[in-house]
Amino acid sequence: MIVDARQVEGDLSADICVVGAGAAGIAVVLQFLAGRQDVLLMEAGGEDDEAETQALYGGEVADEKLHAPPVNYRRRAFGGSTAIWGGRCMPFDPIDFAQRPWMPGPGWPIGIEDVMPFYPAANAICEAGDFAYTAQAAFPGGMRPLLKGFAGRHFSDDTLERFSCPTDFGKRYRARIAQSRHVRLVLHANVTELRTGVDGSFVESLAVQTLTGRAFTVRARRVVLAMGGLEVPRLLLASRDRHARGIGNAHDQVGRNYMCHIAGSLGEVHVAGDARDHWHSYQVADDGVYCRRRFALRAQAQARLGVGNFVTRLHHPRIPDPAHRTGALSALMLAKPLISYEYSKRLHGEAALSLDAWAGHVRNVLLDPVDTARFLLHFLARRTLAARKFPTVIVRPKNGVYTLDFHSEQEANPQSRVALVAARDALGMQRIRVDWRYTQGDIRTVRVAAEALAADMAESGCARLSFDPQTVEACALRDGAYGGHHIGTARMATTAAQGVVDAQCRVHGIRNLYVAGSAVFPTSGQANPTLTIVALAVRLAETLKKDVLF
C-alpha cells in the first residue's frame, strides 16, 4: 500500500518502522511483504525528484575538492540513490571481515560466513544475475583473458564485477510494495527526530514532518534507520531528548570513521602482443548480466605488504587530456555539459581546460569520425536505449597504452567525520558538515599495490606498468572521495566504545533501534557497497523476523 504523509490523518503505528526507501530500506521491507508483521516504510521524498525535498540534503563540506556537496550523489525520493547508481556489484572479500593487525580500527565483529548466506538474495534484488564472481563460475565455457599470460604473485585476474541494470529499486519493486497488505509506504514523510522512552533505552516514537506543514508521530516496536551513511548520523545526532550527545553517541562514535573509497587512474600500461591478447571490456554471462574481470590484490599479498584491499582495471587514457587523440573520448569531453554531475566529475581534471585543449578535443573528433560515430551509436543503442545498460565507457586506446583505474580501500579514521552544524533546513533540522579525510596509509595502499602489480606484469612478461610514485597522491585525490559511497558513520562493533551498532545492527544501548546500510560497515574494502548493503539488510530482516516479540 502506498500513502502520502501529506494526507495522513492522526498518528501511525506499526510493528516495524523502516526509515528510508532506498536500497537498504526496500531490501528490508521486501522480506515482509507477505509476513505477519505490519511494516511502515517512511520515505522523505515522493516517487519523483522534487527540488524542495532534495534541498533538505544540503549541508557543508570541509573541502569541496575532496568531497562533493551533500546534495550530490544522493537522491531523496522513493528508490533513493538507486535511481542514480552505476550498478557495479561485488561481494566483500573474506579478508575484509578478518582481523587485520596492520589496519587501524577494530574491524568487523562478524565474519564472511555471517553475510555469505544473504549474498545470493542480494544479487537477485540488485538484478545482478547469478551469485558467481569468478571467471570460472560465471563463464564455465571460458572467459576472455584480461591480459593473456598474466600470472600474478600479488594479483588475481579471476574475480569479477557484475552489473545491475542498474536497477532503480523504487521503480522495480513498486508493484510489490503497492499490493502488499503488510507494508505501507508513506511518501513525503521526513523523520526529523527519534524520541526515546523514559530511561532512554528504547525509541518510543518518531517525529514526522512534511514540507506542507503536517506533523505527526509514528510508534513502532522496532525501528530501522535505512537513510544512507550521511543521514543516519544526522538523525542520531539530532535526537537528543534523553541523550545529550545524540542517540548511540555516548562514546562520540556517531559520524566518525567516515569512509568513501580512494579511486582514480594512474600510470601507463604498455601491453605486449596484439589486440587479441588483452580484453578490458565486458562479457555478457548467460543470465544476460555484464561481467568484467579486474586485477584484485590477493589476501595474502595484502597481509604481506601491510596494505588495504585494492582492485584495478585496464582503463582508457584520461579524458580531459586531448593528447589521447581518441575521438570518442573527446566527444564525451565536449558533451560534458549534458552529463550529470555524478557522472561528469571525472571529466573535470585538476584545472579548467585551456582553449587549446578544447580545440584539441574538437580536432580529435574531426580526425576520428568513424570511431567516434561507432562509439556514439554503441552508446545510444547499448546504454541510452537499453533496458540493461552497457555499464561504463570502454574505449580501446589507439596507441595500446592503458591507464590503471583503481578502487582502493580507505582505512577507518576517527578524524574523518560527519557532524551537525548550527544551520537548519526547512523543517528545522540541523544540517551536516562533512569533513572527509584521508590518511597516508590510504595513499600507501595505492602506491604499494601499484608497485606489486607492476612486478606481476613484468614477471608475466605480458605488459609493462610505469608510474611515478610521487604522483600517486595526486592521482588518488584528483576527483576527491569516491562519490556516493558513504561508509562507517555508525559502524558495527562489539562495544559501544568502539562503534554504534552491535553485530545484529542494533544500536548499542537502544533495544529497538537498528541501522541498515553502509553506515554500519567498519571497513570499506575494495567493493562497491550496494550489494553488501542489501545483503546485510536481508540479514537484518531475518533477525527481525525471529524477534520473540513478534
Q: 3-class DSSP state for residue 469? A: helix
Q: Does 175 bind another protein (CB under 8 A)?
A: yes
Closest by Cα among 193, 258, 186, 248 to 228: 258
Neighbours of 210 (CB within 10 A): 21
Q: Between residues 348 and 545, which has the closer beta carbon with respect to another protein?
A: 545
Q: Between residues 6 and 176, which has the closer beta carbon with respect to another protein?
A: 176
Phi, psi (rounded to 5 degrees) for 122: -65, -40
Cα 126 versus chain centre, distance:
13
Q: Which of 65, 153, 171, 424 binds another protein (CB under 8 A)?
A: 171
Q: Between residues 108 and 139, which has the closer beta carbon with respect to another protein?
A: 139
Q: Does 139 bind another protein (CB under 8 A)?
A: no
Closest by Cα among 463, 143, 466, 142 to 273: 463
Q: Between residues 98 and 284, which has the closer beta carbon with respect to another protein?
A: 284
Q: Does 423 bind another protein (CB under 8 A)?
A: no
Rg of the chain, C-alpha, whole Å = 23
Q: Which residues pair with 265 in a beta bridge?
A: 405
Q: Which of 19, 24, 90, 285 binds another protein (CB under 8 A)?
A: 285
Q: How many CA atoms lie less than 13 Å away from 460 in the CB half-sphere? A: 25
Q: Does 429 bind another protein (CB under 8 A)?
A: no
Q: Between residues 184 and 388, which has the closer beta carbon with respect to another protein?
A: 388
Size of the residue set binding another protein (CB under 8 A): 22
Phi, psi (rounded to 5 degrees) for 432: -105, 160
Q: Does 34 bind another protein (CB under 8 A)?
A: yes
Q: Between residues 252 and 287, which has the closer beta carbon with respect to another protein?
A: 287
Q: How far apart are CA 280 and CA 396, in angstroms?
A: 8
Question: Scanning the structure block, which residue is given the C-alpha cell 527540488?
Answer: 51
Q: How far apart are CA 529 and CA 161, in angstroms?
A: 12
Residue 54 CB burial class (10 angstroms; 0-12, 13-18, ≥19): middle
One-letter amino acid for residue 294 of the chain = R
Q: 3-class DSSP state for residue 295? A: strand
Q: Does 179 bind another protein (CB under 8 A)?
A: yes
Q: Which of 287, 350, 459, 547 binds another protein (CB under 8 A)?
A: 287
Q: Between residues 389 and 485, which has the closer beta carbon with respect to another protein?
A: 389
Neighbours of 204 (CB within 10 A): 17
The least CB distance from residue 385 to another protein, in Å, is: 8
The least CB distance from residue 175 to another protein, in Å, is: 6
Binding span for another protein by CB under 8 A among 48-56, 77-85, 285-293, 490-498: 285-293
Q: How many CA atoms lie less than 13 Å away from 175 in the CB half-sphere? A: 1
The least CB distance from residue 130 to another protein, in Å, is: 10
From residue 267, alpha-carbon distances to 277, 325, 462, 471 in Å are 20, 18, 16, 9
Q: Does 386 bind another protein (CB under 8 A)?
A: yes
The least CB distance from residue 301 to another protein, in Å, is: 33
Q: 3-class DSSP state for residue 490? A: coil
Q: Which of 148, 172, 345, 444 binds another protein (CB under 8 A)?
A: 172
Binding span for another protein by CB under 8 A among 67-75, 113-121, 172-180, 339-347: 172-180
Q: Does 127 bind another protein (CB under 8 A)?
A: yes
Q: Does 370 bind another protein (CB under 8 A)?
A: no
Q: How far apart are CA 326 and CA 317, in angstroms?
A: 9
Q: Does 388 bind another protein (CB under 8 A)?
A: yes
Q: Which of 16, 19, 147, 165 binds another protein (CB under 8 A)?
A: 165
The least CB distance from residue 124 to another protein, in Å, is: 9
Neighbours of 175 (CB within 10 A): 9
119-146 burial by CB neighbour count: b if 16+ within 10 A, else e?
bebbbebbbbbbbbbebeebbeeebebb
The least CB distance from residue 286 to another protein, in Å, is: 4
Binding span for another protein by CB under 8 A among 271-279, 379-387, 468-476, 522-530: 379-387
Q: Which of 10, 51, 113, 181 binds another protein (CB under 8 A)?
A: 181
Binding mask 243-282 for another protein (x = CB under 8 A): ----------------------------------------
Q: Between residues 99 and 179, which has the closer beta carbon with respect to another protein?
A: 179
Cβ-contact 103, 309 below 8 angstroms? no
The least CB distance from residue 158 to another protein, in Å, is: 21
Q: Which of 48, 286, 468, 547 binds another protein (CB under 8 A)?
A: 286
- Tell which positions 492-521 bind another protein, by CB under 8 A: none
Q: Between residues 50 and 130, which has the closer beta carbon with respect to another protein?
A: 130
236-272 burial by CB neighbour count: b if 16+ within 10 A, else e?
bbbbbeebeebbbbbbebbbbbbbbbbbbbbbebebb
Q: Does 284 bind another protein (CB under 8 A)?
A: yes
Binding span for another protein by CB under 8 A among 226-234, 263-271, 284-292, 345-353: 284-292
Binding span for another protein by CB under 8 A among 152-160, 164-172, 260-268, 334-342: 164-172
**DSSP code string of 201-234:** SSEEEEEEE-TTS-EEEEEEEEEEE-S-TTHHHH
Q: Between residues 123 and 532, which has the closer beta carbon with respect to another protein?
A: 123
The least CB distance from residue 544 to another protein, in Å, is: 21
CA dihedral angle for residue 470, residue 472, residue 477, residue 478, rounded to 10 degrees: 90
Pairing of strands 12-19, 39-42: parallel
Q: Which of 351, 352, 387, 422 binds another protein (CB under 8 A)?
A: 387
Give the chain's largest Cα–Cα span.
73
Q: Which of 6, 144, 174, 219 binds another protein (CB under 8 A)?
A: 174
Query: Where does this chain bind another protein (CB under 8 A)?
Result: 34, 127, 165, 167, 171-176, 179, 181, 284-289, 385-388
